[in-house]
A and B are shown apart, each in its own frame.
Chain A
């Protein structure tokens, strides 16, 4: 078997909350990411979906080691990036880049577009010569901007154009993996579609893999072959995109899909509305985090944490009663 591009094993991150005053005891801890494991084959994309506080963005940052995990392993092309020193990590990061949600705050307003786009290369020690400047112009054209934009500053661009600049910066060092953290959420629909198509094109032409983090399932469906659903720090279900939408198995996935507004007034939701709110991440329910909102919950669910396991059908679900749910009523 070939090594996957990215392999994440039992990744966890606990944030300790500071006390109310400087010397006070900690106000508690949040297990933002709690034992997350997945594999990402080359040239495939994995979507991570879930509601606010489910740990999807933290997972993205852990994978790039932008924050240090509390436990677990992140293997990029078989190499554990958590064991690398600063130099080796910097070299490794050529191959793994990120695109952020807010193109406003993720671009330095005092740098020209050329400087922004070339920065990942300059950090890696590239010389800023005519060839590199030419590379900047090529990158801009690749993302649908023009070479003439190179000398301008971020404020001269619209939100969609700024996101294109952010994407140009991410593809500059010819990465294999790009973590996309809600890259289209801040954009208007008419502009969002342009960026989705651009990401699709780049994926095809450059052979990229995305770890695509989003709350909008339709966007993820467009760009990813597989989807992982997270709830309060854990992956509850992982499946090929088509299978997940056709037959969601975990009760939370079912709830999530049932909540999506209809695409046409003819198909208005008649499904039961999900009950309750997402519990606080500081005090998640014991056992299966979802049992407080789950229509199928039984005593075992509040006592025992269900592991993410592969069913006989090949589906990955973290539910004690997944087989029963799979068979249906």
Chain B
């Protein structure tokens, strides 16, 4: 297999808190192949956003500290780059979009200037050339009468339009990788459908890779080629998307799929995962899911499970993958 575009190994990030260090990301490994759409799913505190922000060097330090790991992107370890070197990659080779388009845009600058800024900084375009490119970009992300919109301020736009502007900025320099952190979470469902469709079309045209971070199984089902399931700072399972939905092998992935209400499967009762998410300051020697896991045995709380290969591209960090194979058969 070709070298992945992004290869993250042993990523470990902690936050200093009053109660001691909190391990937000704990030895996380994942890859994003060239042109691949990887969905990273997890609930709050799973470490999915912190993983992305760690790679991009966007966490405030302190309190955050990337304690260990490597993140190779196009031959360079992003975690070892100087701030100035990383700035040249961020926004140019790696684009980013975030959940809240209102807070990601600067309210006092016209959107044409905000798109142009990226082009002037990274591509050294002049003011006029940057404006022309900005119109093309707005057009490409589906903003009607783009030339007229350049002088609008962010508050003139709806949430969906703002997210389109964010996407235009992220794509300004034709990045090879787009990191999208919950880009549709703040949007209504009809607008979410539009944004997902836009991202998919742009991805197909440009061949860029996307790392889509979400808590929504539906977004994963719609959008991802491959899935990384995160739980409490660790990778629980990775699998091609259809395999994850048909044959999840980590009990947490199974629980997550069963707990998600879907229109097509209206049972009287949803299966639930008992208990609640663990706190990041607790140090567990074993599997972090063990206290909530129906299949847990003694060894699960004693040692940390390593990923077990189940099929090509499919691995689950679980001691009980033999037992979990019986999912939904019971």
**Are B193 and A273 within 8 A (Cβ)?**
yes
- In chain A, residues 249-288, which have Cβ atoms closer than 8 Å to a Cβ of chain B? 255-256, 258-269, 273-275, 277-278
Which chain A residue shows the least CB distance to B188?
A: A51
**Are B215 and A189 within 8 A (Cβ)?**
yes
Assuming the contacts A258-B193, A260-B218, A277-B191, asked whether A190 and B262 have C-beta atoms less than 8 A apart, the reply is no
Contact with B along A219-238 (1 / 0, CB 8 A): 10110000000000000000
Residue in A51, A160, A222, A263 with the greatest tally of chain B CB atoms within 10 Å: A263
Q: Is A188 an interface residue (CB 8 A)?
A: yes
Q: Is B241 an interface residue (CB 8 A)?
A: yes
Given the complex, which residues of A lie within 8 Å of B307, measured CB to CB?
none
Residue in B260, B261, B276 with the greatest tally of chain A CB atoms within 10 Å: B261
Q: Is B273 an interface residue (CB 8 A)?
A: yes
- Give bound CA distance, A267 to B264, whole Å: 11
Contact partner of A256 (CB less than 8 A), chosen from B189, B261, B268, is B189
**Are A259 and B193 within 8 A (Cβ)?**
yes
- Give bound CA distance, A190 to B256, whole Å: 6
CB distance from A298 to the nearest CB of B (A): 22
Q: Is B283 an interface residue (CB 8 A)?
A: no
Given the complex, which residues of B lie within 8 Å of A268, measured CB to CB?
221-222
* Interface 9-residue window, one of A69-77, A121-129, A194-202: A194-202
Given the complex, which residues of A lie within 8 Å of B161, measured CB to CB?
277
- Give bound CA distance, A278 to B160, whole Å: 10
Q: Is B269 an interface residue (CB 8 A)?
A: yes
CB distance from B25 to the nearest CB of A (A): 18
Q: Is A215 an interface residue (CB 8 A)?
A: yes
Main secondary structure of the interface of A (DSSP, over half): helix
For the complex of A and B, 6 pairs with smallest distance between CB atoms: A261-B218, A193-B259, A51-B188, A263-B262, A188-B43, A259-B193
Q: Is B86 an interface residue (CB 8 A)?
A: no
Residue in A160, A192, A255 with the greatest tally of chain B CB atoms within 10 Å: A192
Which chain B residue shows the least CB distance to A274?
A: B190
- In chain B, residues 124-165, which have Cβ atoms closer than 8 Å to a Cβ of chain A? 158-161
- Give bound CA distance, A262 to B44, whole Å: 22
Which chain B residue shows the least CB distance to A220?
A: B261
Contact partner of B268 (CB less than 8 A), chosen from A200, A217, A264, A266, is A200
Q: Is A158 an interface residue (CB 8 A)?
A: yes
**Are A261 and B219 within 8 A (Cβ)?**
yes
- Give bound CA distance, A160 to B269, whole Å: 17
CB distance from B184 to the nearest CB of A (A): 9
- Give bound CA distance, A221 to B191, whole Å: 21
**Are A222 and B261 within 8 A (Cβ)?**
yes
- Give bound CA distance, A265 to B245, whole Å: 8
- Give bound CA distance, A196 to B264, whole Å: 17
**Are B221 and A188 within 8 A (Cβ)?**
no
Which chain B residue shows the least CB distance to A157?
A: B276
**Are B160 and A277 within 8 A (Cβ)?**
yes
Given the complex, which residues of B lie within 8 Å of A273, measured CB to CB?
193-194, 197
CB distance from A170 to the nearest CB of B (A): 21
Count residues of A near B (Cβ-Cβ below 8 Å).
43
Given the complex, which residues of B lie within 8 Å of A215, measured CB to CB?
188-189
Can you give 25 contacting A-B residue pairs, CB < 8 Å? A51-B188, A51-B189, A161-B276, A189-B256, A189-B260, A190-B272, A193-B271, A193-B272, A196-B270, A200-B269, A215-B188, A221-B263, A222-B266, A256-B189, A259-B190, A261-B193, A261-B196, A263-B262, A263-B263, A265-B220, A265-B222, A274-B190, A275-B194, A277-B191, A278-B188
Q: Is B242 an interface residue (CB 8 A)?
A: yes
Assuming the contacts A51-B189, A188-B44, A189-B43, asked whether A263 and B221 have C-beta atoms less than 8 A apart, the reply is yes
Which chain A residue shows the least CB distance to B242?
A: A265
**Are B221 and A189 within 8 A (Cβ)?**
no
Given the complex, which residues of B lie within 8 Å of A67, measured CB to CB?
none
Assuming the contacts A190-B256, A265-B242, asked whether A197 and B190 have C-beta atoms less than 8 A apart, the reply is no
Given the complex, which residues of B lie within 8 Å of A29, measured CB to CB?
none
- Give bound CA distance, A314 to B125, whole Å: 63
**Are B245 and A218 within 8 A (Cβ)?**
no
**Are A194 and B272 within 8 A (Cβ)?**
yes
Which chain A residue shows the least CB distance to B144?
A: A276
Q: Is B192 an interface residue (CB 8 A)?
A: yes
Which chain B residue shows the least CB distance to A204?
A: B268
- Give bound CA distance, A265 to B256, whole Å: 16
Assuming the contacts A197-B270, A215-B188, asked whether A190 and B259 have C-beta atoms less than 8 A apart, the reply is yes
- Give bound CA distance, A326 to B222, whole Å: 29
Given the complex, which residues of A lie within 8 Å of B265, measured CB to CB?
263
- Give bound CA distance, A191 to B44, whole Å: 11
**Are A222 and B188 within 8 A (Cβ)?**
no
Which chain A residue shows the least CB distance to B196?
A: A261
- Give bound CA distance, A259 to B189, whole Å: 6
- Give bound CA distance, A194 to B217, whole Å: 17
- Give bound CA distance, A189 to B159, whole Å: 24
**Are A261 and B221 within 8 A (Cβ)?**
yes
Which chain B residue shows the least CB distance to A266?
A: B242
Contact with B along A172-215 (1 / 0, CB 8 A): 00000000000000001111111011001000000000000001
**Are A51 and B190 within 8 A (Cβ)?**
yes
Which chain B residue shows the least CB distance to A263?
A: B262
- In chain B, residues 251-304, which have Cβ atoms closer than 8 Å to a Cβ of chain A? 255-256, 258-266, 268-274, 276-277, 292
Q: Is A321 an interface residue (CB 8 A)?
A: no
- Give bound CA distance, A106 to B304, whole Å: 39
**Are B263 and A265 within 8 A (Cβ)?**
no
Contact with B along A10-54 (1 / 0, CB 8 A): 000000000000000000000000000000000000000001100
**Are B263 and A245 within 8 A (Cβ)?**
yes
**Are B221 and A278 within 8 A (Cβ)?**
no
Given the complex, which residues of A lie within 8 Å of B7, measured CB to CB?
none
Which chain B residue shows the least CB distance to A219?
A: B261
- Give bound CA distance, A197 to B269, whole Å: 6
- Give bound CA distance, A192 to B271, whole Å: 11
Residue in B224, B242, B259, B274 with the greatest tally of chain A CB atoms within 10 Å: B259
